[in-house]
Amino acid sequence: MIKKWWSFFIQIIVMKIALDIAIKRTIYQLVGKEVLLRLVLRRIMWEMLSQEIIWHIGMIKSSSFFLRSVMFIIARTSRVKIMGEENLKRIIKDKERVIFVLWHGNYTLLLTYFHIPKAIGLVEASLKGNCISELAKRSGFQIIQANSPSRSIRKMLKMIKDGYKLFITVDGPHGPAYEVKPGTIYLAQKSKAKIIPLSIVARRGIFIKRWDNHFLPLPFNRVVVSIGDPIEVKANDSVKLKTEEVRKSLTN
C-alpha cells in the first residue's frame, strides 16, 4: 500500500515538472528569444544605472559636507568687513524685492562669507551644478535648477515676489568672463526688483586657471564685502544700457 502511494506521489511530481517545462517552452516560443534577451539586458542596465546614481548622490553629499566644513573654518578664521551695510539693512528691513549680482568666479567667496535670510540661487542642471547646489544648500541657500528656462524663470519671479533674495552670477554659467547676460535685466523688469551689485574681495587665496578666474579663499584672511547702490530697472529701459550699467557697477 505504501509503495503504491509512493509511486503515485512520484508520478505527480514528474507530471508537475513536465508541465512547468512545457509552460516555460511555450512562453519562450511566444515571447521570442530577442524579447527575452532585451528584458534581461534592460534589467542589468537598470541595476547598473541605479548603483551609479546612488554612488553619485553619496559622493556629492559627502564631498559637499566636507567642503562646507572647510569653508566654515575659513570663514571663522577670517576678518570680514561689509561696505554698504546700510543698503543691506534697508533691504532686509523694508523687505525690498532685490536681485544680487556677482561674477561667477566669486561664488565660492559668496558661499563662504555672505549669508542672508531667504536667499535663493540659480544653478545649471548638470553634475557640476548638482555639486554646487548641494554645497549652496548647506550654506543656507535655496536652489532653483535651470532644467527648463521658462519654468525656472516663472519660479524665480514667484519667489522674488514672495520676498526671497535672488543671487545670480551674471557672466555664468559658461562665460565669457565679466560679460553681463541680459537675462538679469529681464528678471528685474518682470519682477520689479532692484539689482544690487555684490563684490567680495579676499586678500589671501588661490586663483584657478579657468574661464572665470575662480577664486578660492584661504584661512586667516581679510575680506571686504561691498554691497553697491541699487540699480532700478524700469519697463521701458534699454536692456543694453542697463547691462552695461551692471557691468560697470561690478568692475568699479
The answer to whether residue 71 is domain-embedded is no
Q: Is residue 68 part of a domain?
A: no
* Residues 113 and 235 reside in one and the same domain: yes
Instruction: Give yes or no: residues 205 and 126 share one domain.
Output: yes
Per-residue pLDDT at 41: 63
Q: How many distinct structural domains can be found in the chain?
A: 2
Residues 37 and 98 in one domain: no
Pair 56, 84 in one domain: no
Q: Do 45 and 53 form a contact (C-beta atoms < 8 A)?
A: no
Residues 108 and 191 in one domain: yes
Position 2 scores a pLDDT of 46
Could you tell me if 159 and 213 are in contact, meaning their C-beta atoms sit under 8 angstroms apart? no
Determine, yes or no, domain membership for 225.
yes
> Would you say residue 67 lies in a domain?
no
**Per-residue pLDDT of the chain in tens (252 residues, 90 and over written 9):** 544 445 555 555 655 555 565 555 555 555 555 555 566 566 656 555 555 555 456 667 778 888 889 999 999 999 999 999 888 888 888 888 999 999 999 999 999 999 998 999 989 877 778 888 889 998 999 999 887 788 889 999 999 999 999 999 999 888 899 999 999 999 999 999 999 999 999 999 999 999 999 999 999 999 999 999 999 999 899 999 999 999 999 987
3-state secondary structure of 62: helix
Whether 192 and 148 share a structural domain: yes
Are 132 and 172 in a shared domain? yes
Do 160 and 205 lie in one domain? The reply is yes
**Based on the domain organization, do 98 and 148 belong to the same domain?**
yes
In the prediction, which pLDDT does 58 show? 62
What pLDDT score was predicted for residue 60?
A: 72
Q: What is the pLDDT of residue 88?
A: 85
Give the Cα separation of 233 and 173 in Å (integer).
23
Nearest to 98 by CA among 125, 123, 117, 124: 117
Cα gap 135→65, rounded to integer Å: 7
Q: Is residue 66 part of a domain?
A: no
Domain that holds residue 98: 79-251
User: Which residues are bridge partners to 121 per DSSP?
Assistant: 143, 167
Q: Are residues 99 and 171 in the same domain?
A: yes
Residue 74 lies in a domain: no
Residues 148 and 179 in one domain: yes
Phi, psi of 226 (to 5 degrees): -110, 120
Residue 230 lies in a domain: yes
Query: Which of 60, 87, 104 is the last residue before a domain boundary?
Result: 60
Residue 216 included in any domain = yes
pLDDT of 147: 79
114/11 same-domain check: no
